[in-house]
Amino acid sequence: MVAPIIVALGGSLLYGDHDVKTWLGQLRQTLVHIEGNGRKIGIVVGGGKPAREGINLANDVISDRFRLDEIGIAATRLNATILQKMLQEIGCKVAPSIPETTSEAATMFDSFNIVIMGGTKPGHTTDAVSVAFARESGSAHVIIATNVSHVYTADPRKDESATAIEEMTLDELSAITGTESLKPGQSAAVDPIAVQWAKDALLRIGVLDGRDIRRLEDALEGRPFEGTLVRPE
Ligand code: UTP
């Protein structure tokens, strides 16, 4: 059996300044097309605005970082439910519940074509979940769809000289992200824990701007895509 395609969809794609309703329709069409071609797909949905706002609100009254992470996880599962219901509505063979672990998610491919999930445990983000999900499903790579075009040499919002990288190794990526885990709700080009897990499993990572459905579609179909390709070596 061909391995499922695993993609992390950043929560910013559901709550950004782009035309989210049109984008959701395009995403739905793309997923129907992939399912029609007999491919299986696993989607890990990020928390976006509800995670950020929930964690911000709770920050004043909750100091325990695991509890704050759990609020973020609840938001990712809310967003996963939105996509899962959208696909159920049009008759896709999508798993009827949101799995709580990546091994449970991988098992669901025995019976379903599409598996949608959110976060799992405190201490990492959905980027890392997607890496674990790929490993459990026998997939050699993961697509991280976010709201930036590439991984940059530095944060382009802070450093004008930052340039986009088209191809790099996981070691080079971890030199940029660092190795320390992110704080609850803190965002980064790619979660350092995801990079470490990808190194351990020798997985490739594709990072791209998911707001442009064509780029996402290229990566999902295994074609060259506009974005950053991160190789194990
Ligand atoms: P996200 O995975 O959405 O973070 O998790 P992100 O990638 O930085 O943000 P978007 O989606 O691209 O906007 C949101 C928060 O939920 C908690 C963390 O606190 C994280 O910052 N979380 C998520 C976990 O603790 N564990 C998980 O498995 C997933």
Domains of the chain, by residue range, sit at: 5-231
Look at 41-45, 117-121, 133-137, 158-162 and tell me which has the smallest mean pLDDT.
Answer: 158-162
Average pLDDT over residues 85-91: 97
Give the pLDDT score at 187.
Answer: 85
Average pLDDT over residues 162-181: 95
What's the rounded Cα separation, in Å, for the pair 196 and 107?
24
Q: Which residue has the higher pLDDT, 216 or 156?
A: 216
Q: Is 4 in the pocket of ligand 1 (CB under 6 A)?
A: no
User: Percentage of residues in the chain with pLDDT exceeding 70?
Assistant: 100
User: Percentage of residues in the chain with pLDDT exceeding 90?
Assistant: 94
| Closest by Cα among 107, 119, 92, 109 to 30 | 92
Give the amino acid at 210: G
Give the pLDDT score at 140.
Answer: 96
Q: Characterise 91 by phi-psi region: left (phi > 0), alpha (psi -120 to 50), beta (else).
A: left
Give the pLDDT score at 122.
Answer: 98
What's the rounded Cα separation, in Å, for the pair 153 and 36?
38
Give the pLDDT score at 155.
Answer: 86
Q: Is 187 in the pocket of ligand 1 (CB under 6 A)?
A: yes
User: 88 C-alpha to center of ligand 1: Å?
Assistant: 25
Mean pLDDT (the chain, rounded):
96
Average pLDDT over residues 79-90: 98
What's the rounded Cα separation, in Å, for the pair 131 and 117?
13
In degrees rounded to 5, what are phi and psi of residue 151? Answer: -80, 135
Give the pLDDT score at 119.
Answer: 98
Give the pLDDT score at 156.
Answer: 84
Give the pLDDT score at 157.
Answer: 84
Q: Is 230 in the pocket of ligand 1 (CB under 6 A)?
A: no
- Domain topology for 5-231: Carbamate kinase (3.40.1160)
- Residue 63 to residues 38, 120, 182, Cα–Cα distance (Å): 47, 20, 15
Please give the DSSP secondary-structure letter assigned to residue 226. S
User: 78 C-alpha to center of ligand 1: Å?
Assistant: 12
For residue 86, pLDDT over 90 is answered with yes
Q: Which two tokens stand for residue 4?
A: 């499922």
Give the pLDDT score at 1.
Answer: 74
